[in-house]
Amino acid sequence: MTQPIPTTAFAALVAVCLAVAVFAAGAWAGDYHVYSCRTPSGQVAPTDGWSAPAHPSYDITSDTCESGGGLIAALGANATHLADSEFDKATWQFNAPESETVVSTTLWRAGDTLGGTNENAFYLFWVSGAADLGTNAHIFDECSADLDCAGKGNFTDPLATENRLVAPDEALNSPYLSLSAYCGAFVNEVMCPTNEGDHITYDAEIELFAADIVLSQPSGPTPSDVSGGLAEDPTVNGISDVSFHATDFGSGVYEAIVAVDGQVVEHRIIDEQGGRCRSLGGTSDGLNAFLYTKPCPAEASADLSLNTTAFTNGEHHLVVTVTDAAGNTATVLDREVTVANPPPPGCEANGPAAPRSPAEVFALAAGWKGHANPHLRARYGAPHTLEGAITGPGGAPVSGGLVEVCELPAYSGAPLIPLASPRTDAAGRWSLALPRDLPSSTLKIAYREDPLDLLPVALDTLTLTVPASLQLHVAARRVRAGGAIRLTGSLRGGPLPPGGKQLVLEARSPHGPWIEFHVIRTGAAGRFHYRYRFRLAGPARYQFRVLSEAEADFPFAAGASNVVRVFEG
């Protein structure tokens, strides 16, 4: 009898497993979703990428998606069907664009084999992927009349649970998917049953109601013809621009991103093509989602403007990137540029308060709404409101006073950023709702008796500590022994360090200690992914999470993601 493994031994086993595993991370490749026939929410979608090979006229391949149906592949009744014939079958096949592969897919399908079987042959349908459309294809869903399978799924409810089919790993990583209705045989050169009359329409059929296909593109866009003040001038001021051309013959040129000192200040879809090249969003893994296999233009030009008055005078690190629809990124511009604008009002002059006699003393009170402590620790995205009051000589309230609020993000070399300038009410009180995407920061609040005064007459300071916010997803929560999982996610907030933020992947058995097994970096937009293959046989349950540790060039405290659970067996 096999003895149960003690908790400590099991934790050690996990450590060994993680230490010796060979990770299939490889080079970065971008992924994106393509919806066919229906989106997961039920909206009608095109069937881009799907085609039907030639077949006899009595077999049927029909696209009824726009009218509420699906992609139908069927063998018509009242016809003679030759068994094991590569020609006498009905097939819909999906072909990914050149050099791209299918890395995951969820299908919603239903089918039947009402033509039945005889002593020599039988009707069936199947779904396959990987390798090619011939003998090397991997069939991962099948219904055959000779095995007493009369049908699968629900024809009347396209997105019903019983119609949902997730492709296994061994059916993926090729450009192909296909679904077929067919006549099989026990012996060679025989015929399947012939069904005369009107009691059935098809001898065998399969109908695809929806597909959520994730494509992987190994290479990214190529920028060229970069010009403009931001690209060429050593010193800039006011509004300056950069223009460039880009090509991407996979998913297409998607978005331009401008970052200053690691902080994304603008991102723009270069050419939406009437909405075709706009991500539908709503994916659980954070990837883009489209209705076409090549949703965005293969070539596009962009002209981006930057208001340099939003930045402090001096040297800044400017990075302009272009992405394709799959999330692959290429650098358009990466340089140091000097900003030289007239000094901005407010924050730059917030030195010590101007000296006053006791009779002229002003007082500024500032605090976090609902919190007595001037040092607030809160999650990313939570609402924060500052409130306070200003009094003048003798304690009289200052009405209509302009309060300057400036943010100093908690990373090395961060500029002082003006946020807003609320005015006090008749009682001298003021409040300000802060942006929800603030990082850990020092908030400097100042009041000048005259807005043109060089120095304020009253100052106060508050601090905000925000742990890093991470989301982690796993494509499959149950895998076969020795299978692989795909961990994806995103780190919210910025600015990100040059080259992305370093993250730590950890795993454990339930109730065991967390064990670090790999270090990765995010992309320019904070996204990350990693492919992990189990090397020890299950069955076993594992938990995974990702950590962001505190760094001097990232303005967030240490934080951990949600925990995802996977069963290997």
Question: Percent of the chain, pLDDT > 90?
Answer: 59
Banded model confidence at residue 536, pLDDT cuts 50, 70, 90: confident
Q: Please state, in angstroms and rounded to a whole number, the distance separating the CA atoms of residues 346 and 569.
A: 62
Reduce the DSSP state of residue 11 to 3 states and report it.
helix
Section 527-555 average pLDDT: 89
Interval 163-173: pLDDT, tens: 999 999 989 98
Name the residue among 8, 209, 14 with its Cα closest to residue 111: 209
Section 528-536 average pLDDT: 85
**What's the token pair of residue 179?**
């679904």
Query: Residue 177 pLDDT > 80, yes or no?
Result: yes
User: What pLDDT, on the 0 to 100 scale, is given for residue 487?
Assistant: 92
**Residues 6+ away with beta carbon under 8 Å from 152:** 109, 110, 111, 112, 141, 143, 162
| Burial track 364-388 (b if 16+ CB lie within 10 A, e otherwise) | bebbbeeeeeeebebebeeebebbb
CA dihedral 506, 569, 489, 172 (to 10 degrees): 130
Q: Are 153 and 111 in contact (CB under 8 A)?
A: yes
Q: Please state, in angstroms and rounded to a whole number, the distance separating the CA atoms of residues 57 and 53.
A: 12
User: What pLDDT, on the 0 to 100 scale, is given for residue 331?
Assistant: 96
Name the residue among 563, 569, 568 with its Cα closest to residue 511: 563
**What's the token pair of residue 437?**
């995407």
User: What pLDDT, on the 0 to 100 scale, is given for residue 293?
Assistant: 97
Q: Please state, in angstroms and rounded to a whole number, the distance separating the CA atoms of residues 167 and 139.
A: 10
CA dihedral 520, 523, 524, 526 (to 10 degrees): -80
- Between 28 and 468, where is the model more confident? 468
Q: Show the CA angle centred on residue 457, arms to residues 456 and 461, nearest 5°.
A: 70
Paired residues of 240 in beta bridges: 306
Q: Please state, in angstroms and rounded to a whole number, the distance separating the CA atoms of residues 199 and 253.
A: 52
Burial class (CB in 10 A: 0-12, 13-18, 19+), 403: buried
Name the residue among 176, 146, 161, 163 with its Cα closest to residue 206: 163
Paired residues of 138 in beta bridges: 129
Banded model confidence at residue 475, pLDDT cuts 50, 70, 90: confident
Give me Rg for the CA atoms of the chain.
Answer: 31
What is the dihedral sign for C-alpha 497, 500, 504, 510? positive
* Main-chain dihedrals φ then ψ at residue 18, nearest 5 degrees: -70, -35
Lowest-pLDDT choice from 122-126, 321-325, 523-527: 523-527
What average pLDDT is seen over the chain?
Answer: 87
Q: For every residue of 369-389, which 3-state class applies, written as one string? A: CCECCCEEECCCCCCCEEEEE
- Between 483 and 39, where is the model more confident? 39
Q: Are 278 and 268 in contact (CB under 8 A)?
A: no
Query: Residue 245 pLDDT > 80, yes or no?
Result: yes
Interval 552-569: pLDDT, tens: 999 999 999 999 999 987
Burial class (CB in 10 A: 0-12, 13-18, 19+), 439: buried
**Beta strand segments in 46-175, E:** 50-51, 59-63, 71-76, 90-95, 101-112, 121-129, 138-144, 151-152, 164-166
Place of tokens 């500052």: 386
User: What pLDDT, on the 0 to 100 scale, is given for residue 359?
Assistant: 52
Q: Please state, in angstroms and rounded to a whole number, the distance separating the CA atoms of residues 167 and 72.
A: 19
Name the residue among 150, 279, 159 with its Cα closest to residue 205: 150
Stated length of the chain: 569
Q: Please state, in angstroms and rounded to a whole number, the distance separating the CA atoms of residues 530 and 534.
A: 13
Section 209-224 average pLDDT: 95
Question: Percent of the chain, pLDDT > 70?
Answer: 89
Q: Please state, in angstroms and rounded to a whole number, the distance separating the CA atoms of residues 225 and 243.
A: 8
Distances (CA, A) of 344 to 61, 236, 349: 67, 15, 9
User: What pLDDT, on the 0 to 100 scale, is given for residue 355?
Assistant: 58
Section 328-338 average pLDDT: 95
Interval 114-154: pLDDT, tens: 999 998 899 999 999 976 555 678 999 999 999 999 999 99
Place of tokens 């869903």: 141
User: What pLDDT, on the 0 to 100 scale, is given for residue 27?
Assistant: 37
Distances (CA, A) of 5 to 255, 513, 548, 566: 51, 16, 32, 19
Q: What is the pTM of this model?
A: 0.60
Banded model confidence at residue 350, pLDDT cuts 50, 70, 90: low
Banded model confidence at residue 282, pLDDT cuts 50, 70, 90: confident
